[in-house]
Structures are given as structure tokens and as C-alpha cells.
Amino acid sequence: MSKEKQRREALIYHAKPQPGKIKIVPTKPYSTQRDLALAYSPGVAEPCLEIAKDKENVYKYTSKGNLVAIISNGTAVLGLGNIGPEASKPVMEGKGLLFKIFADIDGIDIEVDTEDVDKFIETVKMIAPTFGGINLEDIKAPEAFEIERRLKEELDIPVMHDDQHGTAIISAAALLNALELAHKKMADVRIVISGAGAAAVSCTKLYKAFGARAENIVMLDSKGVIRKDAENLAESKKEFATDRKIDTLEEAMVNADVFVGLSIANIVSPEMLNSMADNPIVFAMANPDPEIDYNLAIDTRKDIIMATGRSDHPNQVNNVLGFPFIFRGALDVRATAINEAMKMAAVKALADLTKQPVPEQVNIAYGETRLAFGKEYIIPKPFDQRLIYEIPPAVAKAAMESGVAKAPIQDWDKYREELMLRSGNDNKVVRLLHGRARTNAKKIVFAEADHLDVLKAAQIVHEEGIATPILLGRKEIILELKKELEFDADLDIIDPMSEEFDERHIRYATKYWESRKRSGVTFYSAKIKMRERNYFGAMMVLEGDADGMISGYSRAYPTVVKPILEVIGRATGVKKVATVNIMITEKGSIVLGGYLNQY
């Protein structure tokens, strides 16, 4: 997909049919006067009075315990820099979406219009009673360090700056597994960190917590190697300054065991990779383009273990593996903080999960034959449904053991069951179906492709590799709609009504006539039927020119089903025709089946 096309798709996605990605929906009945009297006046006074007696009752009677504030001032948004609070809102809404679909946490985005540290902290403190946790996001360093430190000290709810700790937690889990595969120990390896921002600092601190030694670490900022003899060294960088007499990335990479990139694209050359130690570990996590191209890196060093921040390569270091599940565990024990013990517990749980047998549903979802712990699988996949019931319990236990849990869990089996119910069965079914389709893409007839919505569906099916569409309908309209959608794929377009009656039409008409002539169908009427898209499409399936057919968008159900039954018919011994539908609900998927009595 071209960048311009991707840009347009992204803008349409965010704007239509309703601007934004999140909304608020009621959780209680509201259809009767009684419901409204309980929800607001006078019934609402009762929980208010209970909370006034004991503030902890706010968790019992309100949504506070499942509500996280996603707060930013827009000073370090993705790779876009300081674009301001309003421009950061799509990212914060996206974070709310991820909280919900992965961990069933309600996230409310709040964009604060100040770069003053004291004002920002004061604002967050004043609104904190509303929330069960605070997720700081896209705040530039070094202010981010001060903001998080003070808020953690002054608030009694979990606070985490995900840009720092999310990447640190996921990459630390990946690093533990990579070191195991490389037969190396954390205390012995020489580590190069490219970048000195919030994420790089947090990653390095966490690696040290797992045994990395300060004398083995070299960190670089935009000016080069951070050295102890540098003048005017920022306080946040002093801990990571080296006394080695080197200045450049090229020098730092010589005999290094690990490279961690949190900087800019294409700064690592093949020559630098070749200068590293045996079995080098390279985490090139700059987005959207890594410090060295994945394919170039693996072509350069066959013994490399590599991860990136991209989803189109193995070993994606993706924060979504961490923050939803860490906050889930913290909220569920009503933790007063997210501390080092909880973060380290998440790291170990992620690392351990990677080594467990991968469920077939995950293999199917990612189009893999068999995912297994190894160089191309050192970290779980984001859509692994086990994350929701493996990571939160580990975090919750660490919170309890470290003394920050105000509501300890007593029944762990019951807790795991509750987590499974939060895991989004609807999304899993869709992903499973998509995954199965991609493993053996079929040719599918879209019988009403001259309708915008149908053609748009065909476009998505094609671009996601789910199937190969065959477009039936008025050709000039389909071409016009394709241009409007910027759908430039070279696909078969067939207009059964207006095209010349070619060999295929004759073949289809003959086949239909031979099967239906005892029912009074003439060859002439059979040819007329092949001008109709549902008869033509069904015949394509019968003759093996297509594998399936989608129809019924603009026509009544009986009108669509009748041609299919006349052309394809029933299997031998089958007397009744059955239908099946999948209804996706908030509580899971419902499969509905039934007979068509008239057939």
C-alpha cells in the first residue's frame, strides 16, 4: 500500500462513520423511570453517603477501580515530536482502545495544555480521585522523569509512564530469552544503547535490575557516546556514562553482545554488525524504520537474534504486551503503585510464556505453521489470548508480596476465570476466521460489487490477504467506485448482463439447461438466466471457477438463495437446507443455525 493511500485510509478510519475511536456507554439499565431514579436523583444519594463515610467505598459503587487516565501534553508523540495536546489526542484515544480490547480497562484520554512540570503535576493530582490508575504518555525527557517520580510519591494509585517502562518491560523479557538462546549471561554481556531518552533510560535501568553491569554498558545520545569526562552532563545521563575512551557508535559496537536501538533509522551498518561478538542480539526499535533494516541485518549475520518495533517482522517489541495487563493486575488488587517488583514480575511472566507450547489459535491468527521458542520467537505475539490470564496474576502477586496491594486476591483460580471472561471472545473469533482464510486464500465472487459497501469489503478482503475477489456487476460503475476508493488492484471484473455471450456463458447456460430441462427450462431461458449475477456467480462456484460467493446486500434473501439452490442444488441424501450465522456480542459469540422450510 502506498504511503498516500495509507494516509487516506488512516484519515477515513478516524473520521468515519463517527469521529474518534472511543465512546462512553452505560453499564446499568436506563429504560424506565425507576432506572433513572436509581441512577441519579434521588437514588444516587445513597452511594454518595456510603463513600462519604469511607472513601474506599468509591471502588464498590463507582467505576473508579476499572478507570485509567491516559494523560499527555503532546511533547513527545510517537516519532512526531512536540506536536501539542490536541494533535496527541488520536494517539491517546488509540491507547484507550488498546486498554479496552486487550484488558477490558476503561481508559479516558486527557490532554493537558502545559509544558510546565509543576502545573502538569498539579493538574494530574487534582483529577486523580476520579481514576484507579494514571498512564502517562508521550511526555518528553527529562521532564517525564520528574513528572512520574513526583506523581508516584504523591498519589496512592498506580502511576506509570508507558513510554519508559512499557518498552523496558517487553524488551527485557525478549532480552532474557535471547540471552538464553545465545548461551550468554546478563552479567557478562556488553550492551550498547543507542538513545538516551525516557525509554532508553528505563530500559537500561531494568536491564541492570536483571544483572547487567554498569561497566559493560555504553549509551549514546545524538552527540555520540556519553562519557564520564563530558562537560555539562545532564543529571539523567550521569548514571550511564562510560569511562571508555570511545566516541562513536562504530567504536562502541566492536565486540558488543547486545545492541538496543531507541533512536533513529538506518544508523547501524553491516560493517558494525560484523564487528559485534558471536550470536549478536540486536533490538532495532526505532519506528517506523529501525536502526538497521531487518532483512539486511539477517542477511549480514546468520547468527543474529533480532527484534524490531514492527509487526511485519518476527519478535515485535510491542508495548501492548505490557501496559494493559500490568494495569489490569494493579487495578485488581487495588495497588497503590506500580513498583519495580511488579515490573520485574511482568518481565519474567512474559519470558516464561514464550517458552510454553503455543496454542493452535495463535498459530492460525498469525498464519504460522508452528510458533516455538527460538530465534524468531523470543517474545509472545500481541494477540496471544494467554496474556490476559498469565501477566495480570503475576503482577498482582508481586503487588501483594511487595506490600502495595490494598485488596489482596484470595482465590487465584477464580481470578483467572474472571480474566478469561475479559479476554474479548468476539475479537478472537474474527482473528481466528481471518487467520484460517489467509492460510489458504480462496477465490470469492462478490455478486454485487457495483455497490460501494460491497466493493469496500472486497478491497479489505484483498488487501488483508483473506481471499481473491472476483467482482460481478456493472463494469463502468465498479471502475468508477474503485477509483473513488483508490482500489487499484488488478482483479477480474465481470458484467454478466452486458458482456458478449462468450464460451463461458454458453458453457454455464448448457450446464444449467441440462440440469433443469426436466423442470421446463429451455436452452434460451437458460441463457437468459446466465445474464443474472446470482445465477452466473453460483455457476462459477459449481464449475470450480470460484470457491465461494457473497450476495444479498441489495436483494431479498429468497431472491438470492433460489438461484444458488437451482444451480448448485442439494447434496445427495440431503432433504433440507440449513443456514448458519455467527452473532458477535459483548459476552462472546453466538452461533445460530436453522432450516429453510420453503426449500
Integer Cα distance of 197 and 141 in angstroms: 6
Active-site residue flag, 95:
yes
Among residues 40, 61, 557, 595, the one annotated as catalytic is: 40
CB 164 within 8 A of CB 201: yes
Per the structure block, which three cell numbers stand in for 464? 488483508
**Nearest-10 crossing angle of helices 162-182, 340-355:** 40
Name the active-site residue from 21, 64, 89, 95: 95
Joined grid coordinates for residue 536: 452466473
Q: Cα(563)–Cα(529) distance, rounded to whole angstroms?
A: 9
User: What is the Cα–Cα distance from 6 to 547, expressed in whole angstroms?
Assistant: 30
CB atoms near residue 74 (< 10 Å): 25
| Inter-residue contact 148 to 337 (CB < 8 Å) | no
Q: Smallest Cα–Cα separation from 460: which of 424, 434, 492?
A: 434
Closest among 314, 336, 338 to 391, alpha carbons compared: 338
Which residue, among 381, 325, 430, 319, has the nearest Cα to 104 in the 3D structure? 325
Can 61 be counted among the known catalytic residues? Answer: no
3-class secondary structure, 412: helix
Give the Cβ contact number of residue 4 at 10 Å: 9
Sheet with 467-472, side-by-side order of all strands: 493-494, 467-472, 442-446, 548-550
Answer for the pair 353, 387: CB distance below 8 angstroms, yes or no.
Answer: yes
Grid cell at residue 593: 443455525
Listing DSSP states for 141-196 in one string gives TTHHHHHHHHHHHH-SS-EEEHHHHHHHHHHHHHHHHHHHHHT--TTT--EEEE--
Q: Name the grid cell of 424.
A: 474479548
Nearest to 112, CA basis, from 80, 74, 83: 74
Cβ-Cβ contacts under 8 Å for 506 (sequence gap 6 or more): 527
Q: Annotated catalytic sites, by residue?
A: 40, 95
